Amino acid sequence: MSEIVRQSLMDLLEPAEVALVQAFAIRRSYRDREVIHERGDETQSVGIVAKGQVRLLHLARGGQELLLSVLLPGDNYGDILALAGGSRSHRAVASGDTAVDHIPADAFRQLLIHPAIVRAFYTIASSRLEVAISRFDDMRTLPSEVRLAKLLLELRRASPDERVACLQEDLASLTGVSTVTLAKSLTLLKREGLVETGYRHLIVQDVAGLADWVAKREAD
């Protein structure tokens, strides 16, 4: 993720296509930390985040919940289930006051007669695959502090300001390290003057500086 531009499904659609998608959707609101669906649920529908955030969680051995992804407004999930069937692989939980547009499988298939909508879903799926391959490669080749810095760049670019809301255990899950290793990586980034830490948040003031720091270490 040296420079992966974040896109959402709704960013890729024209206003008329957005209106069409919303016409097929059923909007539901969720309170902070309310479960949207559990792992194993067989509700086969596509979700598009309309407000707030959706956290996708995996239950690890020992009962620990690992954060796998945070979906922001405009992001979609569950389209593979709507096409191929099956059950949910992760728990989805609302973060803050959240609204999700749910599109039932039958309605989703009707939307796919429109080439522009198919192209948007395909673009998002391809982008996510590219990100997954990049992260897998990073896990094998980059030290933990560089992987953390790349993740913080992602989060900062998706944030409206320099303050990035996060928990250290979430950052550890997303970078695939222990909380002890995560703390050491954070300490190094703070010592380099790249980030500041606060209660349940980080501050990345110099995005360009952090990006340069990452680029130099990726080139080594």
What SS3 class is residue 126? helix
Helix (H) / strand (E) containing 95: strand 91-104
Q: Give the pTM.
A: 0.81
pLDDT digit string (tens) for 91-141? Answer: 999 999 999 999 999 999 999 999 999 999 999 999 989 888 988 889 899
* Closest residue by Cα to residue 166 from 189, 200, 204: 200
* Closest residue by Cα to residue 183 from 193, 194, 168: 168
**What letter would DSSP give residue 6?**
P
Percentage, residues of the chain above pLDDT 70: 97
